[in-house]
């Protein structure tokens, strides 16, 4: 069963989330403080965290930062909830590694759709995508957000895992920049397609032997990118 951790101090919102998510078949645990949320995340290793910004001890941005800084937790997708709808706040949350940002007030049906989309993109929902991608001397673990090359641990950009998962799910096919942006960020106005290009460049530098002549992560000019697996 897919496990969701809710970190929300407003009782009415928290109970509404618990009831709605449980009714959809998710295993839900809810806490009211950021420090408790971090501890509970370590204990239960949830498939998704729904995180409020305005918490009594530390704000959700700091909780998200600590989650993404912890190697054992950074692979858990996060949806941020906030009454603060300013664009800079949304950008800050996404840059910290959050997978989506929902502004209060929101409908529970909208949140359910966002939860489903984030779980699908992360491959953590029921019947999710494969958890590993292997090519050449590279092994990428999508669930733990870890990667190795020639047996050595390497660091990838957070969104790089979603980009790789999307390419790996369609081996040999051309995937457009817009598709990669939607799958990796899930927010069609942030960032722009140039950011996708920059992420591909970073991935090649880490994973390809020859950055200028990539074997696996290839550009299809005017169309997008293609993952070419080992024969």
What are φ and ψ of residue 4, in 5° steps? -125, 130
Per-residue pLDDT reduced to its tens digit, 172-208:
999 999 888 887 776 555 557 788 999 999 999 999 9
User: What domains are there in the chain, each with its CATH number?
Assistant: 3-122 (3.40.50.2300), 132-227 (1.10.10.10)
| Token digits of residue 66 | 């600590």
Nearest to 9 by CA among 30, 38, 40, 26: 30
Per-residue pLDDT reduced to its tens digit, 10-24:
999 999 999 999 998
Per-residue pLDDT reduced to its tens digit, 94-146:
888 898 889 888 888 889 988 988 888 777 766 555 678 999 999 998 878 88
Sign of the CA dihedral running 147, 150, 155, 157: negative
> Is the backbone peptide bond immediately before 144 cis, with ω within 30 degrees of 0?
no
Instruction: With 0.75 as the threshold, say if the pTM is over it.
Output: no
């Amino acid at each position: 069963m897919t496990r969701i951790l809710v970190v929300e101090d407003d009782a009415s919102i928290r109970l509404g989330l618990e009831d709605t998510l449980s009714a959809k078949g998710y295993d839900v645990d809810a806490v009211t403080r950021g420090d408790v949320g971090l501890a509970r995340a370590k204990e239960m290793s949830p498939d998704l965290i729904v995180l409020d910004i305005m918490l009594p001890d530390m704000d959700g941005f700091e909780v998200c930062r600590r989650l993404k800084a912890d190697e054992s937790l950074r692979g858990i997708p996060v949806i941020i909830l906030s009454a603060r709808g300013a664009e800079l706040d949304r950008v800050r949350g996404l840059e910290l590694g959050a997978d989506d940002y929902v502004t209060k007030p929101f409908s529970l049906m909208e949140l359910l759709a966002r939860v489903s989309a984030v779980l699908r993109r992360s491959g953590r929902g029921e019947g999710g995508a494969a958890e590993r991608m292997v090519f050449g001397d590279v092994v990428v673990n999508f669930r733990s957000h870890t990667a190795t090359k020639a047996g050595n641990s390497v660091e990838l950009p957070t969104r790089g895992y979603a980009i790789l998962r999307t390419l790996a799910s369609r081996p040999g096919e051309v995937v457009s920049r817009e598709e990669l942006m939607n799958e990796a960020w899930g927010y069609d106005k942030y960032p722009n397609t140039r950011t996708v290009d920059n992420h591909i460049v970073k991935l090649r530098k880490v994973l390809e032997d020859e950055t200028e002549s990539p074997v696996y992560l290839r550009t299809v000019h005017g169309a997008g990118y293609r993952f070419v697996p080992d024969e």
